[in-house]
Chains A and B, each alone.
Chain A
Amino acid sequence: MKISLFITCFNDTWFPGTGKATVEVLERLGHTISFPLEQTCCGQMHYNTGYQVEAIPLVRRFVELFEDAETVVVPSASCVGMIHEYYPKVAKQADDQQLLRRVESLIPRVHEFSLFLTNVLEVEDVGAGYPHKVTYHPTCHSLRILHVGDAPLRLLRNVAELELLELPGAMECCGFGGTFAIKNAETSAAMLEDKVNRITETGADTCVAADNSCLMHIGGALNRKNTGIRTMHLAEVLASQK
């Protein structure tokens, strides 16, 4: 399959390792990857913070860049959530019927990484090996907008030598929430504290999720508290080999 990669601005800049891992896993499964260099940001941060007019050109840009793609894969659940859930609304807000039609035709071809593996390619064993104790945090947008269900867990269960430890209170938000972490820093910190305590309780050495944004927030606290627990995007675990 010919796959266009939308890496997201955040991963491109902060977590290039996730992008490399995504490429590695998909190529290992025999697919061809292209990466349109014109891509920047999906517009989620602007849209969710209330700068919705500013999101309109970013939505246009995304559509122009990817509308001819056979398939678009994105290693970020929240950005895919933005595209699926809010792109049609942005088009309506821009009062642009044509944009709305283009968005609606593109959306079914835009996939979150783990769902792409389990639902489109229908693979659960990608031939990975990761000899560590891992706990998985289901991020809110992956759960409640994309409904990934247990897709990431099924992928993790098929990784050789990986010991999967259940995270108590897994469904609870970690407190990131984009600009929420800055605007409501104290509330965000209280939510984070509980999440980090739960992660530590599991005895895992790695905390995995499908969103690097939440992981950066969780990882920052794990580091501050010297827990020795690392955070890792699902794609990086799946790219690891024994």
Chain B
Amino acid sequence: MKKNTTEIPPAFEESAGKYLNNPQLRRNIGHATRTIRGKRQVVADELDDWQQLREAGRQIKQKVMANLDHYLLQLEKSVEEAGGKVHWAADGEDANRIITGLIKEKGVNEAIKVKSITTDEIRLNKALNDAGITALETDLAELIIQLAGDEPSHILVPAIHKNRTEIMELFRDKLGNKDLTDDPEQLAEAARLFLRKKFLSAKVGISGGNFAVAETGTIVVVESEGNGRMCTTLPDTLISVLGIEKIIPTWRDFEVFMQLLPRSSTAERMNPYNTFWTGVSEGDGPQEFHLVLLDNGRTKVLADPEGRQTLHCIRCSACLNVCPVYERTGGHAYHSVYPGPIGAILTPQLRGLYDKSAASLPYASSLCGACYEVCPVKINIPEVLVHLRGKVVDHKKKNGGIRDKLHPEHIAMKLMARTFRSRSRYERAQKMARIGQKIFVRDGMISKLPGHLSGWTSVRDLKPIPKQSFRDWWRARS
């Protein structure tokens, strides 16, 4: 399942089947998402002002996006005043070059990492590897993914698609401990022993960050295992990579986000480890701090007033856990480090809508709206999905070839739009459909349809159109 970066991944609907038909995967993900979904509901319901908190979160993020230029410069200033150094990266390549350079300067060829999807987005590990630097993932789930040579399938629980037995086998093989059982404690202990040595010897740590406070220059990582705390405190040099949208204006704003994030992500009232650092402090923790601020398509998203709210995301993954599509296909079908509902809107905006995988993502949703209902910063995901669908269609209309123009859906949409614009055409179409369906009706039902529509009849029958329409009845009555 290794992804080749130069190859265009398949459309969502083409790969979904592979995962849908993998019963083990469906069981693993179904079980995990249903459990966390229930727990999230409980801790969100606990707070009387949950809806106000969501609205506050939305407004703060909206303010950040409206004044991003200002806050970014303020952040740069605060970080540098606190003894850190800020680097600006226009894209992933830029960021990778900066980070590789910083590590090489230290004369080392090893770094330890805190779980960070932003570094997955820019494929930092691969870039470091190519430069002869080994980056070791220290988050348990990320370590599992790294050892398995797999791809993450969930923002927060990257190995959600693997169960205990699969992990036991992997550890037996890669960590050389043949007596391991699938007891979670034993598995965690095996990883802990393996990682401990690395923590103590590493000279460089690499992290992402959940928030960056413009006012103070403080960066925050919240986590469950404590490995993040070690990565950000033990090495001499710390490099943090954050997307430019991760800013919050003031320390005070934590009041809102430190309630919203843990409850929405791990269904906890507070994360077990919350690490805050501001520049460097003499004699305590890393003595060199670099902040890499990454654009990589984000300013493009910002430029679109309808799509902009996508940048409000705090990567809690609540939308993945409630999504009925994600629950059944898992994360890999999205072919992006950002799967699920947020991935369906973020990936096509970051990457552009013009490869077939990205263009298929806004359609990977039944528009049920469960994601919007739980999103702690009230991103109206269905609205953005529909907006992006509009862009996909517009793009095809303008730049599509003859195959796009002759696509059955395109023709049907065009024809129906014309039909619905006139009463007489509409009434004629009703009659024609009634006559046209006759060749498909068997025993009062349609059980087999050709071509594009066969997907419908593969699992369901179709009730034929009755003889008398409502309007015919109405006319006959009055």
CA A222 to CA B433, docked complex, whole Å: 24
Proximity string of chain B (405-437) to chain A, C-beta cutoff 8 Å, 1 when within and 0 when not:
000010001101101111100100010010000
Q: Which residues of A contact B417 (CB under 8 A)?
A: 46, 51, 54, 57-58
- Judge whether B50 is part of the interface by a CB distance below 8 angstroms: no
- Interface residues in B, total, Cβ within 8 A: 64
Shortest distance between the CB of A138 and any CB in chain B (Å) = 11
- Interface residues in A, total, Cβ within 8 A: 65
Q: Which residues of B contact A9 (CB under 8 A)?
A: 420, 426
A214's nearest neighbour on chain B, judged by CB, is: B366
Q: Which residues of A contact B455 (CB under 8 A)?
A: 181-183, 185-186, 188
B446's nearest neighbour on chain A, judged by CB, is: A220
With A40-B420, A50-B393: A35-B471 Cβ-Cβ less than 8 Å: yes
Q: Are B392 and A50 in contact, CB atoms less than 8 angstroms apart?
A: yes
Q: Are B393 and A47 in contact, CB atoms less than 8 angstroms apart?
A: no
Q: Which residues of B contact A193 (CB under 8 A)?
A: 459
Proximity string of chain A (19-35) to chain B, C-beta cutoff 8 Å, 1 when within and 0 when not:
11000000000000001
A41's nearest neighbour on chain B, judged by CB, is: B420
Q: Which residues of B contact A173 (CB under 8 A)?
A: 324, 366, 368, 370
Proximity string of chain B (371-410) to chain A, C-beta cutoff 8 Å, 1 when within and 0 when not:
0110000000001001001111110000000000000010
Task: Say which one of B13-21, B115-123, B274-282 lies at the interface with A.
Answer: B13-21
CA A145 to CA B369, docked complex, whole Å: 8
With A9-B420, A49-B413, A50-B389: A187-B325 Cβ-Cβ less than 8 Å: yes
Q: Are A189 and B365 in contact, CB atoms less than 8 angstroms apart?
A: no
- Judge whether A68 is part of the interface by a CB distance below 8 angstroms: no
Task: Say which one of B139-147, B221-229, B241-249, B461-469 lies at the interface with A.
Answer: B461-469
A188's nearest neighbour on chain B, judged by CB, is: B366
Shortest distance between the CB of B68 and any CB in chain A (Å) = 24
B386's nearest neighbour on chain A, judged by CB, is: A48
With A20-B470, A185-B455: A58-B421 Cβ-Cβ less than 8 Å: yes
Which residues of chain A (178-207) have a CB below 8 Å from chain B? 178-193
Q: Are B368 and A223 in contact, CB atoms less than 8 angstroms apart?
A: no
Q: Are B445 and A180 in contact, CB atoms less than 8 angstroms apart?
A: no
- Judge whether A144 is part of the interface by a CB distance below 8 angstroms: yes
Q: Which residues of B contact A7 (CB under 8 A)?
A: 470-471
Shortest distance between the CB of A87 and any CB in chain B (Å) = 13
Q: Which residues of A contact B389 (CB under 8 A)?
A: 48-50
- Judge whether A124 is part of the interface by a CB distance below 8 angstroms: no
Q: Which residues of A contact B390 (CB under 8 A)?
A: 50, 52
Shortest distance between the CB of A183 and any CB in chain B (Å) = 5
Shortest distance between the CB of B435 and any CB in chain A (Å) = 13
- Judge whether B354 is part of the interface by a CB distance below 8 angstroms: no
21 pairs, CB–CB < 8 Å, chain A vs chain B: A7-B470, A7-B471, A9-B420, A12-B430, A12-B470, A14-B463, A19-B473, A50-B392, A52-B393, A173-B370, A177-B365, A178-B366, A180-B365, A180-B366, A187-B325, A188-B366, A191-B328, A216-B462, A223-B445, A223-B461, A224-B447
Which residues does B use to contact A, with CB under 8 Å?
12-13, 16-17, 20, 26, 324-325, 328-329, 362-370, 372-373, 383, 386, 389-394, 409, 413-414, 416-417, 419-423, 426, 430, 433, 445, 447, 452-453, 455-456, 458-463, 465-466, 468-475
